[in-house]
Amino acid sequence: MVDVLAAGGASALAVVALQVFQSGPLVAALLALVAYFASQATRTRRAYPPGPRGWPIIRNLLQIPQDNPWFAYSAWADTYGDVVHLEALSDHMVILNTAQAAKDLLDGRSAIYSDRPGSVMADLSGFGIEMPMLSYNDEWRRQRKIVAQSFNSAMIPRYYPIQEHEARRLARGMLERPETLVSQTKTRIAAIIMRVTYGYTVKGEDDPMITVPFAAMDNFSYATEPGVWMVDFIPQLQYLPRWMPGASFLATAERFRELEHKASWSPYLWCKQKVQEGSEEACLVASALSQFEGKMDDEDEAALVWAASSGLGGGLDTNMSTIFTFLLAMTRYPHVQAKAQAEIDEVVGTERLPSITDRPSLPYVRSVIAEVFRWYPATPLGLPHALRQDDVYKEHLLPKSSIVIPNVWRMTHDPSVYPAPDEFRPERFGGSDGEMKKATDLVFGFGRRACPGAQFAEGSIFAIVATILATCTVLPKTDGQGAPIIPAMEYTSGIIVFPKHIVCDIKPRSQRAQELLEDYLSRSE
Ligand code: HEM
């Protein structure tokens, strides 16, 4: 009997209730009640997926690691399997440790797995309206459509000249001032995104059109940091009067909101002005404005502003992280660098610079990039999804509102899929684009929330990687005795991660490569 109830017995009882309805409403009502309670029993009886044993009431709260949690989650994968369940107080968390589980649920059942967990502090600070944070609702659809239109396959080649131009400026800048490569990379990647989004040409590292969004992004990281804001645990605190001791977070949130507003509206209004003057460059905002043909209400305009600003939010740190991981790999694996450079010399020659259209003829460079994505994904736990309703997977109950975390780190370091996963070995893909795509797809996320800027990002990464390989040699720094200092494989923690030690020398590959860069830049600047 217990088995019958657990395996759909509740609905069997409901059918019986219907059948006897004619024989008397009272009997039918009683049976319906039994069916209801049986369905509740089914829900509680069906087990959650396995996971570490917690404490009463707080459950796993103290076991959820703060730093680099993907390592602990991956260790739990060995013990508990591909889907791990955790509970903190009354919140449920589900970790997906295999590509198959992520595909089955986040891709296959995306209609119910596409929400995002809320954050009260992020909402108060004005970040809740940004696309990556939005629930799976009409506002999200509206913003997503705007971004998707500008970054679909047909549009991508239009951005190649911008991506190549900035990649070449970056390579020259790194050769001239290798000690500032971090800030230069940030500026040049931001320059690509600002030009494609707003048609705006960044003036330099101090240009407020990028420094203000950078400051707003720092605020975003702080506002969304788990465990920092009491209001995220007790939402009622948001209604405290501002003068009350302990309510200073409200003033902080207001400061964040004002800066976020400025960061998002200033470049938009700049572009709108250009469109009104008829002097705009083709870009995301200009093309969206032309589609509205002057019939845009306030909601449409706000959606366009937030959709546009999500490009910098989504694209800056993720691209930077990927480029820094590439530089780290090149300092640690000089033979890989030499092999990729040899391929470029053979295919592109030494009389011109590589372009993104060379990508199909450079399979080893493509493998290097796929291996960078796999070796240290910029977002080792992707972005969390949230589950809209109770679901059952492999006989286990995944409860409504669970935070669902794809453990991308584990997926790209599963030794049964990627032997010796910590080694940087582009040869592991055997030159197969299908194998490379399997790894790359994982780092750009899942289902309806998968990164809308993926193809565009791949273009920027290819332009930068191929240009650096063609024109520079990335070397470890040396100590007083001339011995190489190999940077440790240490990364920051957080949603988007960076190598802790971005320490390398950048030397020109040849006199000719440097001349090519100078020739190109003197013609285009
Ligand atoms: C190497 C570069 C990049 C990586 C690794 C990356 C990765 C990701 C990941 C993992 C997600 C979450 C997917 C999910 O929820 O399952 C995401 C979302 C997003 N990305 Fe990217 N991204 C990159 C570049 C970009 C660029 C260049 C843009 C825009 C120009 C962009 C815009 C976005 C936006 C707007 C979202 C939120 C989508 C949504 O919530 O519906 N990303 N990205």
Q: Quote the DSSP letter at residue 104.
A: I
Task: Give yes or no for a contact between 84 and 77, defined as CB atoms under 8 angstroms apart.
Answer: yes
Is the per-residue pLDDT at 76 higher than 60?
yes
Is the per-residue pLDDT at 8 higher than 70?
no
Residue 44 is predicted with a pLDDT of 52
Residue 45 is predicted with a pLDDT of 55
Mean pLDDT value across residues 310-325: 96
Q: What is the pLDDT of residues 168-215, one digit of tens each?
A: 999 999 999 999 999 999 999 999 999 999 999 999 999 999 999 999
Residue 65 is predicted with a pLDDT of 87
What CATH number does domain 61-523 carry, 1.10.630.10, 3.90.1150.10, 3.40.980.10, 3.40.50.450? 1.10.630.10
Mean pLDDT value across residues 367-395: 97
H/E stretch holding 386 reads strand 385-386
ipTM over 0.95: yes
- Find, among 137, 113, 94, the residue nearest to 450 by Cα: 113
Phi, psi of 397 (to 5 degrees): -85, 125
Q: Who has greater pLDDT, 446 or 2?
A: 446
Strands 403-406 and 396-398: unpaired
Query: Tokens 């369940």 label which residue?
Result: 85
Residue of minimum CA distance from atom 40 in ligand 1 = 132
Residue 78 is predicted with a pLDDT of 95
Phi, psi of 82 (to 5 degrees): -80, -20
Residue 16 is predicted with a pLDDT of 31
Q: What is the pLDDT of residues 245-256, one digit of tens each?
A: 999 999 999 999
Residue of minimum CA distance from atom 21 in ligand 1 = 451
Range with lowest mean pLDDT among 14-23, 107-116, 168-177, 472-481: 14-23
Around ligand 1, the residues with Cβ closer than 6 Å are 131-132, 144, 147, 193, 310-311, 314-315, 318-319, 322, 378-379, 382-383, 385, 443-446, 449-453, 456-457
Q: What is the pLDDT of residues 131-162, one digit of tens each?
A: 999 999 999 999 999 999 999 999 999 999 99
From the alpha carbon of 322, which atom of ligand 1 is closest? 1
Rounded distance between C-alpha atoms, residue 337 and residue 339, angstroms: 5
Residue of minimum CA distance from atom 11 in ligand 1 = 451
Rounded distance between C-alpha atoms, residue 220 and residue 226, angstroms: 12
Taking only Cα atoms into account, the Rg of the chain, rounded to an integer number of angstroms, comes to 26
pLDDT band at 293 (very low <50, low <70, confident <90, very high): confident
Rounded distance between C-alpha atoms, residue 277 and residue 289, angstroms: 13
Nearby residues of 477 by Cβ (< 8 Å), 6 or more positions away: 484, 485, 503, 504, 505
Query: 247 alpha carbon to ligand 1 midpoint, in Å?
Result: 33
Q: Quote the DSSP letter at residue 94.
A: E
- Quote the distance between the C-alpha of residue 17 and its chain's center: 49
- Tell me the β-bridge partners of 115: 386
Residue of minimum CA distance from atom 1 in ligand 1 = 319
- Quote the distance between the C-alpha of residue 287 and its chain's center: 25
Strands 91-96 and 403-406: parallel
pLDDT band at 275 (very low <50, low <70, confident <90, very high): very high
What percentage of the chain has pLDDT greater than the value 70? 91
pLDDT band at 89 (very low <50, low <70, confident <90, very high): confident
Query: 158 alpha carbon to ligand 1 midpoint, in Å?
Result: 20
From the alpha carbon of 140, which atom of ligand 1 is closest? 41
Q: Where are the domains of the chain?
A: 61-523
Give the mutation target among 127, 443, 444, 458 for probing the ligand 1 site: most ligand atoms within 8 A of CB: 444
Give the mutation target among 318, 442, 461 for probing the ligand 1 site: most ligand atoms within 8 A of CB: 318
As annotated, the binding site for heme includes: 451
As annotated, the binding site includes: 451
Query: 446 alpha carbon to ligand 1 midpoint, in Å?
Result: 10
- How high is the mean pLDDT of the chain? 91
